[in-house]
Structure 1
Amino acid sequence: MADRFLTVTVSQLNTYLRSKMEEDPLLSQIFVVGEISNFTNHYKSGHLYFSLKDDRAVVKAVMFAQHARRLRFVPENGMKVLVRGRVSIYEAGGQYQIYAEDMQPDGLGALNMAYEQLKKKLEAEGLFAQERKKTLPLYPQRIGVITSPTGAAVHDILSILARRFPVAEVVFCPVLVQGEGAAPQLVRALRQMNRYGGVEIIIIGRGGGSLEDLWAFNEESVARAVADSRVPVISAVGHETDYTICDFVADVRAPTPSAAAELAVPEQTEILFTLRYQQRRMAQNLRAMLESQRQRLDYLLLSSPLQRPELLTAEKKEELAALWEQLQRAEQALADEKKKELQQAAEHLQALSPLAVLGRGFSVVYGRDHQPLKSARDVERGERLEIILSDGTLLAKVEEKRDNNGNQQNDDL
């Protein structure tokens, strides 16, 4: 019974089904609409793995790196997309899946989706914040211009700069402004302007075009190069209604390249008008100041001190006399005070003088060698003494010695 049926291995079965699917023209090029789920980005390999689902079914899908690199937006879970690819079987797992070659957001273009995603990302990082934007210098001496060497934009910028402020030097860096190599050239030009250009302002931009034409100015690398610039950047991309990521990151956004040139430099005729106005104001102020000083001088010349200087000298003489009198009084008061102090010191010295002591009934007795006697033991009977009184001197001879109790003292004791 088993001989009537074909017996195959699992691998052979999966290979057979794969070949059948790949031979089917309907499955070799198919468009599938669905919602992304289970999205995985293998950053090392660059492959994308995800599922597509609707309200009733799910199918697995894979997009290899060579196709994923061409995506303009970042796929996310919950995003509804239109996938173009082929259907086949993954033999090792025995599961059919879609091998995606292209993907577009359903209902919104890939460029629009990429634009909105990058705008949201950079805004969250603070790259659009007003407080980080630099102020443009009033009178720049060197201006950097980054744009295409062909087209109307470079002509408009250079002609307006030359007309409005011809003293400024222009450093022009020609670049591609659309296509594959445009973004790297824009980034390189911005960095070179910062390092070697010596410029005070950078104008970066191009003329109008479609979203695809302007896309180089929506690249993340360009946006970050503008944000990293030490020199203030004016973004002038497209027409007035065109907004790029570069416009949001730049320090100033100009609606057109011509407007960027007008924002970068002042109008020389306006400067000349201002200078002439200030010159007139200075001349008027100088004349007014001179007239005021002349009137003040006339007033001083008519004043009484200059008309009758003797009045001024008389007044000063009176002041000098008053000061002299005041000085004399101060000198007399000081002399009286010092005289009183001297008198008090003399009285104090007089009270301490030995003569004053003698005047109170005391005397000084000198013995041999004219030395003052301090004790009765220092003198002998028969010795001659000299007695000094307040009004004269006595010469005496010791006949007897007594102690304080009146007892007679002997010399041999």
Structure 2
Amino acid sequence: MSVSAAMQLAKGALEGVTVRLVGEISELSNKPGYKAVYFTVKDKSASLPCMMWNNRFRAAGVQVAVGQLVELTGRFTLYAAKGRMNFDVFSLAPVGEGQLRLQVANLARKLSAEGLADPARKLPLPAYPLTIGLVTSPRGDAVHDVLRTLRRRFPVARVLFSGVAVEGPQAPAGIVEGMRAVVHAGAEVVLVVRGGGSYEDLMPFNDEFLARMIVKCPVPVVTGIGHEPDTSIADMVADLRASTPTAAAEAVSPARENLEALFDARRSSLDACVQRALEGSAAQVGRFAGRPVFCDPNALLAASSQGVDLCADRLGRALPASLDRDRAQADRLRERLGSALPNALTLDAAAVRRQRERLTQALSQVLDPPTSQTQRARERLVHVIPQACERTRMSLDHEQRRLRSAGCQLLEPFRRQAGLSAAQLDALSPLAVLGRGYSIARDGDGGVVKSVEQAKPGQPLDVTVSDGVIECCVSGVRRAGVDDIA
């Protein structure tokens, strides 16, 4: 048999066998322009060169890498020209962890396409959270690492702890319930942490349901799962991903050094504000102290005293002027009356005789023996005289009331002005000030003591109060400072 015939025989025998095998990729060649992907799988005792056409490789959707354990389905083939045997791969799939990683990668791409990993969606962490929710296993080291870190960095924070299972098929639902419990209890930020473990141990944190609950959480969620290289779906959608549980606790708690620096800055700012307020108050007190009313006691009453003097002067000038006008009017009336009476007396004698004759005739008629006419006249006279007298008396009473009312109205403005001036004098009187509890200190010469510099220890002073004078002696003086003013 020729070599070609032998090779054809071997090729026919090999290509008729389809097998499924598991091996670790040791070499990989996936270059652009090639029609196939070439790689080698091996185990502890043997290695097998493999090739897979590009259309089959793309359909498998697997990102292979050296060291990855894969499951292959295919047949052996022989290249007769070179005498080389290859394994023609029909299908390719990761085995064990590789399959899990493929599922996680596909889920990550799906959630990223929905925008759940977008940084713009994530919530900012509170600067100083006073209530921190912690969701982790109660039996692991992670809970102690977190509590130790928070106690060291931010001991004023209150920790709401929810112990849940972090492994097994029920772990994602338990973690979600723990998050709901701490949020309902008032947590301002939630820590979802777990210690290290294998990739399979961390699979509960790659659950889609848990990822969507983290996104819907109303408060920020910080994850610290595994070690530095470990990254899960929960880390991807969380508001902040920390490398370890300790790093997660440090992320939500301010450092003691930062707090001390903040307190120092706030204290300096507060000191500066208080100092400016005191300086402003001192300047205002200084301006008040420099006003004339505080420097000279007479300045307080000067304007009011001047007004009282002006009113008194006006009142003194108004009353004599009014009396002078009334006196002048009375003089004019007297002159008119005096001029009228002589004219009445100088009537012509004929008129006087006529009047006398009428009167005599009337009297004679009255004195004659009564007749009917005389009797009627007498009755009329008796009836008319009381009425005339009554009318005259009523007219005199009315005029008297008018005169009295006019006099009261004339004096009422002056009475009100006098009362107002008396009230102003009483309000501005130093005696009224003394009556409210104030006092005036005078030295031996009667001068008012206005400053502590005018009083010497041992100097006698007279202190005037509302009901008398207190004789005292100065035992010491104390100057008023800013604190006394405040």
Calculate the TM-score normalised by the size of structure 1. Answer: 0.48
Structure with higher RCO (Cα < 8 A, 6+ apart) = 1
